[in-house]
Amino acid sequence: MKLREASPRDLPQIMEVLLEGLVDDPMFDWTWRYRHQYPWDNYYYWSLRINSMINNAGVVFLVVELDEADKFRDKGDPIGTLVSFVVWKRTGEDEHAKRRRSLKAGILNMLDRTVNTLQDYSMTQHYPEGRRDADYRRWAVLKKGVKAVDATYFTHYQNFWELELLATHRKYRRHGAATMLVEWGIGLADEEGVPCCVISSPMGKPVYENNGFVLASEEKWVFQVKGEEEKVECFVLIRSSKNERVLSAETGDGYMIVSSL
C-alpha cells in the first residue's frame, strides 16, 4: 500500500471509502438517520464537505491506495484503488502551523476555496430546507457536544494536530491502512513537538490506543436528544507531545497527559 495526499479528482473513490467504511459506525448512523431514505443527499452533501476539506489550508487529507505488492488486493480492484483516508487538522500559530497553511496559499488554492464557499451558499438558496438525510436535532446535539469537548480538552493546547476523520473500506480492514495514516500524523507531531487529539467512537478507540493515545478522561461522552432512547458514545483521547512523554518517564509517573497551557 502507498500513502499520498488526496486531490479533488480522488473524490469519487473517497466517497466510496467513506460510505463503506462508516456503514457500521454508530455516530454516522445516528446523525444521518435518514440516509437510507435519501442516499443521494447523503452522498452529495458529504462530497461537498470532503472537497472542502481537501482544499482547506489547515487540513492534510491523506489517502492509502493499493499497489503491486498487495497480495490481498481484490482481483476486481485495479492498482491505485483507494482503501482508506484520514483528515488531519493543524491548529495553532507556531512556525510549523503557518508553514503548513502556506502550502495551500496559492491562487488556485484560494480559487478552489472560493468555489467551495459559493457552492455551499448556492445549496442553501436552492434547498433552504437543508439535507434530507440528517436528523437536525441530533446534529445540533452532536455539534454542541463537540464544542464542549473542544472547550474542555483541546483549548488547553495552543498548538496541536487533531485527527478529524478516519475511514477504511470494510473490504480492506485489518491490513494496516488506518495505522499508516495515524502514524503519519503522530510522527509529524513528534517532529514538531506538539500533541495529537481525537474524538473517537468505541470501534476506533483500540486503533488510537495502540498508537500511544490515552483517554483524557475515564468518562464517556454521551450524545442524546432529550426524550429519545437512542444515544451514541464517544471517547476523547490525547497523545502528549514527545517532550511531555519524556518528562513523564523521567519523573517516574509513567505515560500521562500533561496540559500545555
Instruction: State if pTM tops 0.85.
Output: yes
Q: Is residue 239 part of a domain?
A: yes
Whole-angstrom distance, CA of residue 48 vs CA of residue 133: 14
Q: Is residue 259 part of a domain?
A: no
Q: Is residue 258 part of a domain?
A: no
CATH number, residue 40:
3.40.630.30
Residue closest to 91 by CA, chosen among 56, 49, 120: 56
* CB distance 155 to 258 below 8 Å: no
Calculate the CA dihedral of residues 169, 174, 179, 181 and round it to 10 degrees: -20
**Residue 204's domain spans which residues?**
2-250
Whole-angstrom distance, CA of residue 92 vs CA of residue 128: 34
Q: Is residue 119 part of a domain?
A: yes
**68-to-77, 120, 249 alpha-carbon distances in Å:** 11, 39, 42
Residue closest to 85 by CA, chosen among 55, 52, 54, 63: 63
Helix, strand, or coil (residue 43)? helix
Encode the chain (261 residues) as per-residue pLDDT tens digits: 999 999 999 999 999 999 999 999 999 999 999 999 999 999 999 999 999 999 999 999 999 999 988 888 888 889 999 999 999 999 999 999 999 999 999 999 999 999 999 999 999 999 999 999 999 999 999 999 999 999 999 988 999 999 999 999 999 999 999 999 999 999 999 999 999 999 999 889 999 999 999 999 888 899 999 999 999 999 999 999 877 765 444 444 433 332 222
Q: How many domains does the chain have?
A: 1
